[in-house]
Structures are given as structure tokens and as C-alpha cells.
Amino acid sequence: MNELFNKIKSKKKSEFLKNMSWLFLLDFSNKLIPFFTFPYITRIFLPEGFGIITFCLAFIAYFQTFIDYGFNLTGARKIAIVEKNKKELSRIYTAILATKLLFFFVSFPIIILLTFLNAKLFEYHEVIFIFLLMVLSNVLMPTWLFQGLQKVKYMTIISFSVRIVFLICVFTLIKSPDDIQLYALIYSASFFLIAVISLIIINVVIKVKMCKIYFVDILEMIKDGFHVFTSSAVISLMSSTGVIVLGVFYVVEYSGYYSGISKINQIIIMLFYPIGQALFPYHSKKFVISFMQGYYSVIRIAKIVIPIFVFISVCVVLCREQLVWLILGQSFVEKANLLVLLGFLPTLSIISNFMGTQILVASGYTKAYSRAFLKGAIISISLYFILGYNFAIWGVTIAAIVGQIVSLVFLFVEVRKILKTEKEGGLL
């Protein structure tokens, strides 16, 4: 009997490690392969041209967050729980896609209207309209399904193949600062192609079919995902608002500087992202057994992971000028000192992930997760506008760090309250 139990346990561990490896490769294809183009496009477009791209992407990101609606977490969790029930699996799959499509139809006219009403947005309306293809891609992108079923290898292979083509197209076709619209088209088309091919794989290979649903199913998805969505929206606001503030109140060149430096942080976070994505369904199942079992599992892994990223952050700060020159080019080096503060942002984000996503969301305490982030958002977004308006790039940088710390404190308070309640309940 013990031998059988050990075999099952070993098989589950093997599946977890395999899924984490595929997630790492997926994140590599989604972020690191396009990153290979950054040293090229930042040198071609310079801070001003790069600023136009990031300013438009920051605007579009608000609507992408709305359409995603936190389904990469709540959808993956729902799928992981019902993966053996084909009928329920099809219902959830169809309902989430329908909900995202509904949100797209709501977002589309708002994007058009805001672009024509705001002078700064209208100045770059061609690029914004091209990026609408990315918004549609968000509707179709089924990452949450692959993650929940722990079949990420399919999407990894698709993404990796398309990103290689994207890489070739950029180096072949982008030759001057006038090619910004062409770059936007290539970038958006790569996301759309990945989404479409993934849907075909789901239908043909994994054999998850769409089924008849009712509006009540859509309402269920909206209700269940609301608290995670509000937290995701806060994250989007915290990551995009700085770029928007700099682009609106100053010039897009400032947006380019800030975004370029922030890309270095994204590379660091990218190293953790597949780990976090793989851990989430694993911890969700642990929390189903008991809260304390899930909690101690998270803490055990966090004690290993967090010190590694603290060390990486320190190295980034010490080597900031060399890193900026290597990754972004000489024209960005004058703003390398932003990394003195921003270099520690990835570590703070990873700690937040352990407390927020891995503990609160995985255990079903989504309201507490949402509450913590909403409190932090009020302070963070206010700081972006106040400090960003008065102190430009350094103001936005300080706002980013302080906002993350404040959110972290609120998350810690929520986790401690729940932990106390669960311990007291276990003693009854």
C-alpha cells in the first residue's frame, strides 16, 4: 500500500516539474525571444520612438486587463478542479470565452472614443488601432485552459514557433524610426496567430469542445472572477499608469526611458513567472486538503526562492550602467540610476505573489486578495499622478516602489488575519 502511495506521489511530483518546465519555456518564448529584439529596436527607434510604442501599449493594457478579467488565475483554478469532468470542462471553457468576447465588444468603442477625444492619444492613433489586434488576441488566448489542464507544452510549442518567426520579421523588416507602425503590426499579429492556433489544438488534439451555454453562465464567470479582476486591474494600473502619466504630462521620450529601464525588471520577473504559474494549481490542490497544508507548502518554497531574487536584484543595481548599455543602448544610459530603486521592484513583486496569489487566491480568499490590492491602489495611483506630475521620471519611480510596498503590507495583514482564524478553527 505504501509502495502504491509513493508511486502516485512520485507521478504527481513528476507532472508538476514537467509542467513547470513547459511554463518556463512558454515564458521564454513570450518574453525572452521578443527581448532579443529590444537591443535592436531601442537602438533603431531611440527613446522617443520606443516611447511611442510603450505609451500606446500602456493605454491598450488597461483594456487587455479588463478582457482577461483574472481568468488566468480563476479560470485555471476552475479547470484544474473539474479536469476529469468533460461536460463541466466544456461549459467553463465556453463561458469564459463568451465572457471575454462580451468584454471586447464593450472595450472596442471606448478605445475608439478615448483615442479621438484625447490629443496625445490621437497623435498616435494609427499605432493604437493596430494594437487593437492584440486586444482581440486576448479574447482568444486560452493560456488558462492549458495551465489548468497542465498541458502547457502545446501552447509552448506554438508560441515558440511563432515568436521565432516574429524575431526574423523584426530583424528583416524593421530598419528605420519610420517603421513603428510596421513593428506594431508584426508584434500584434504574432499574438493573434498564437491564439488562433491554440484554439485549433484545443478543439482537435485536446478535444475540449464548445457547448451551449446560457447568459447565467457568463454572469457566474463575472461574479466568480470579480475580486481577482479588481486585483489584476490594480496591477495593470500600477504598471501602466506611470508610462501614461509621463506620456500625457511630459513627452513620450520620458515614457521610453522609463519603459526601457523597466524592461530589465521584467526579465528578472520572467525568471519567476513560470515557477509561480506552475505552483498555483499545485497549491490550489493543497489548500483543498487543508489551509495549513497549503500555507506551509507556500512558505517552504518562498524561503528558497526569495533569497535568490534578492541576490539577483543586488547584482542588477551594482551593474546597472553596463546592463542598460548592453540591453537598451547608449541613448538610455543617462537614466541607468533609476535601477537603484527599480532594481528591487521584482523582489517585492515576487513576495507579493507568494502572499497574494499563492496563499490568498489559491486558498479561495479572493475577497481578501482584492481588498488588499484595492487599498494599495488608492495610494499607489495617487502617488503616480502627484509625484509623476511634479518630479517626472523619478517621481514615477518612487511611486512604483512605495505603491508596491504599501500593497505588500496590506497583503501581509490579510494573510495574518486568515492564518489566525484558520489556526483557531483547527483547534475547535
Q: Among 113-122, 268-277, 299-308, 320-329, whose mean pLDDT is lowest?
A: 268-277
Scanning the structure block, which residue is given the C-alpha cell 523588416? 173
Task: Kindly state whether residue 46 falls inside one of the protein's structural domains.
Answer: yes
Residue 105: Cβ within 10 Å count: 9
> What single-letter DSSP state applies at residue 410?
H
Q: At what angle do helices 71-82 and 252-289 cross, to 10 degrees?
A: 20
Q: What is the largest CA-CA distance in the chain?
A: 71
Tell me the per-residue pLDDT of 318-347, one tens digit each, with 9 for 90 and over. 999 999 999 888 999 989 999 999 888 889
pLDDT of residue 16: 60
Q: Is the pLDDT of residue 113 over 50?
A: yes
Q: Is residue 398 part of a domain?
A: yes
pLDDT of 101 higher than 90 = yes
Residue 87: which domain range?
A: 14-423
Task: Give the count of beta carbons closer than 10 Å to the beta carbon of residue 304.
Answer: 8
- 258 falls in which pLDDT band (50, 70, 90)? very high
Q: What is the CA radius of gyration of the chain?
A: 21
Question: Using 50, 70 and 90 to split pLDDT, how confident is the model at 31?
Answer: low
In angstroms, the CA 387 to CA 82 distance is: 47
In the chain, pLDDT over 90 holds for what percent of residues? 29
Helix (H, G, I), strand (E, B) or coil at 4: helix
How far apart are alpha carbons 130 and 184 in whole angstroms? 6
pLDDT at 5: 44
Whether the pLDDT of residue 67 is over 50: the answer is: yes
Q: At residue 24, does pLDDT exceed 70?
A: no
Please report, in angstroms and rounded to a whole number, the separation of the first and last CA atoms in the chain.
32
Mean pLDDT (whole number) for 68-95: 83
What is the structure's pLDDT at 254? 92
Average the pLDDT over 133-149 and give the result.
87
Residue 7 lies in a domain: no
pLDDT on residue 189: 93
Would residue 20 count as lying in a domain? yes
- Cell readout for 279 is 505552483
Does 8 fall in a domain? no
Q: How many folded domains does the chain comprise?
A: 1
- Residue 281 C-alpha cell reads as 494549481
How would residue 102 be classed by pLDDT, with cut points 50, 70 and 90? very high
Burial label for 279, CB within 10 Å (0-12, 13-18, 19+), is buried
Per-residue CA distances from 4 to 1, 10, 11, 84 (Å): 5, 10, 11, 21
CB 391 within 8 A of CB 398: yes
Buried b (16+ CB within 10 A) or exposed e, 201-220: bbeeebebeeeebeeebbeb
* 117-125: average pLDDT: 91
Q: Which of 4-13, 49-58, 75-84, 401-410 has the lowest mean pLDDT?
A: 4-13
**Cβ–Cβ < 8 Å for 58, 255:** yes
Q: What's residue 55's pLDDT?
A: 93
Asked if the structure places residue 232 within a domain, the reply is yes
Mean pLDDT of the chain: 84
Most confident segment among 27-36, 111-120, 282-291 = 111-120
Query: Minimum mean pLDDT among 232-241, 297-306, 380-389: which range?
Result: 232-241
Amino acid 10: pLDDT:
52
- The rounded distance, in Å, linking the Cα atoms of 65 and 330 is 33
Distance of alpha carbon 85 from alpha carbon 102, whole angstroms? 26
- Asked whether the predicted pLDDT for residue 6 surpasses 60, the reply is no
Cα distances (Å, whole numbers) of residue 240 to 160, 203, 243, 263, 416? 26, 35, 6, 13, 30
pLDDT (average), residues 58-73? 87
Q: How far apart are CA 254 and CA 383, in angstroms?
A: 17
Predicted confidence band at 8 (pLDDT cuts at 50, 70, 90)? very low
What's the pLDDT score for residue 131?
94
**Whether the predicted pLDDT of 428 surpasses 60:** no
Cell of 390: 511634479
The grid cell for 107 is 472595450
CA dihedral for 331, 333, 335, 341, sign (positive or negative): positive
Q: pTM value? A: 0.77
pLDDT at 273: 74
Residue 7, pLDDT > 80, answer: no
Residue 221 confidence (pLDDT):
86
Residue 68, C-alpha cell as written in the block: 482577461
At residue 23, the pLDDT reads 67
What is the model's pLDDT at position 183? 94
Residue with cell 529584439: 37
**5 domain-assigned:** no
Q: Provide mean pLDDT across the span 3-19.
A: 54
User: What pLDDT score does 427 carry?
Assistant: 45
168 — pLDDT class (breaks 50, 70, 90): very high
| Model pLDDT for residues 368-417, shown as the tens digit of each residue | 887 887 788 888 888 999 999 899 999 999 998 998 898 889 988 888 88
Length of the chain: 428
Residue owning grid cell 488566468: 72
DSSP state of 1: -
* Residue listed under C-alpha cell 485552459: 145
| Residue 2, domain member (yes or no) | no
Query: Could you tell me if 109 and 164 are in contact, meaning their C-beta atoms sit under 8 angstroms apart?
Result: no
